Amino acid sequence: MDIRSVFEKIAKEYPEAKKQTLKNHPLAKFIRSEVPKSFKNDLGYIISKYKVLVAKHAGNWSRVAWIVLLDPRVSETATRGYYPVYSFFENGKKIMLSLGQGYRDIKSEYKNEADDILISRGIILKNKAGDFKKFGFKNVHGTKITLKSDKEREVWVKSCAFGKIYDVKNLPSNNELINDAKNILNIYENIIQRGGTSELIENIDPEEVEIIKDLSGSEKKALKKHREHEKYYIKTDPKFIKSLKKKFDYTCQACNLKFEKIYGKYNDKLDYVEAHHIVPKSEILKKIDLNEELGRDEKDFAILCANCHRMIHKYGCPSLEEFKEKIQVDYKNFLKNK
């Protein structure tokens, strides 16, 4: 079942289902099992690094149904952090896609100050989101998702950075819903890179500033995307990266440097060689336009020493073979025969 069909079913059946016993209810089972499947099927690898969470009914139905797309770097639970979320209006007539925040943990921690904190964080997220209006998103602060007054949810809506509201009777096509999901996930990623709800502007990488200063506009754009994905893969899949280093014998594939040969015995657990994501600049720019992830198979990586890794970035991420041609032959042969 595609995302659109899932949305229609939940919006149509949830208001009546809430009047019935929750235990073993078919709709509750459907939401828990089919929602994650539909997002995985329609978004594929794009959704692979996110958790698809649905309302956890602790003995009772949630007043409104919701679906959260959560990055584990931000939080492991919908009760805290920030994330894209689909909120189904209590009357079943509309669905709101927004960049929302977890409420419960903040309320528990900050008590009476929680509402102001959430709203101020929402402003920070909005300011870091860039031009979200070009994707059809807008401010949704005055939206009422419940039938009766609900102060908690009213504050929650005010804390949303931006959003988009769908009319259930005129839901967009499934392709449009998929595109909206891709767009908000792309904005979400950019916000994470810029520090999330922290008031500090994104962390500046001195090395990146040095590397990009001599690159053209398209090269800077491609390199930024490249480094974001490189850092993410290394952080989230360390076993995969470690296996690649071992496979290539902890040796730089560009210059042939092997630390053990040059510096004597050293602890290979320190992993001085580094993983570099190989992808042509043109392909990176294409994937940026399509809001697609870069590949993460063995063929998509090269193992490089720190010097070569820095320099391949400096050259704007050419192919490994192109980069190897820039290294002095005598130096490569010296290291190879060492």
Q: For 262-285, what is each residue's pLDDT tens digit? A: 777 665 555 678 888 776 555 554
Identify the residue whose tokens are 């990266």: 241
What is the per-residue pLDDT for 204? 42
What is the per-residue pLDDT for 311? 87
Q: Is the pTM of this model over 0.85?
A: no
Q: Find out if CATH 3.10.450.50 is the number for domain 3-193.
A: no
What is the per-residue pLDDT for 30? 96
Q: How far is CA 68 from the centre of its chain?
A: 13
What is the per-residue pLDDT for 227? 59
Helix axes 281-289, 217-236, angle to 10 degrees: 80
Q: For 225-258, what is each residue's pLDDT tens digit? A: 555 555 555 554 677 888 888 888 888 999 988 8
Identify the residue whose tokens are 């504050």: 155
Report the DSSP beta bridge partners of residue 24: none
Q: For 198-234, what is each residue's pLDDT tens digit? A: 744 444 444 455 544 555 555 555 556 555 555 555 5
What is the per-residue pLDDT for 225? 56
Distances (CA, A) of 314 to 21, 67, 129, 168, 309: 62, 42, 28, 50, 9
What is the per-residue pLDDT for 144? 94
| Total H helices, total E strands in the chain | 14, 7
Q: Please report, for the chain, the start and end positions of each structural domain, with discontinuous segments joined by +.
A: 3-193, 206-337
Residues lower than pLDDT 50 in the chain: 199-207, 211-212, 236, 285, 288-291
What DSSP line would sit under 110-158, residue for residue? HGGGHHHHHHHHHHHHHHHS-SGGGGT-B--TT---SSS--HHHHHHHH
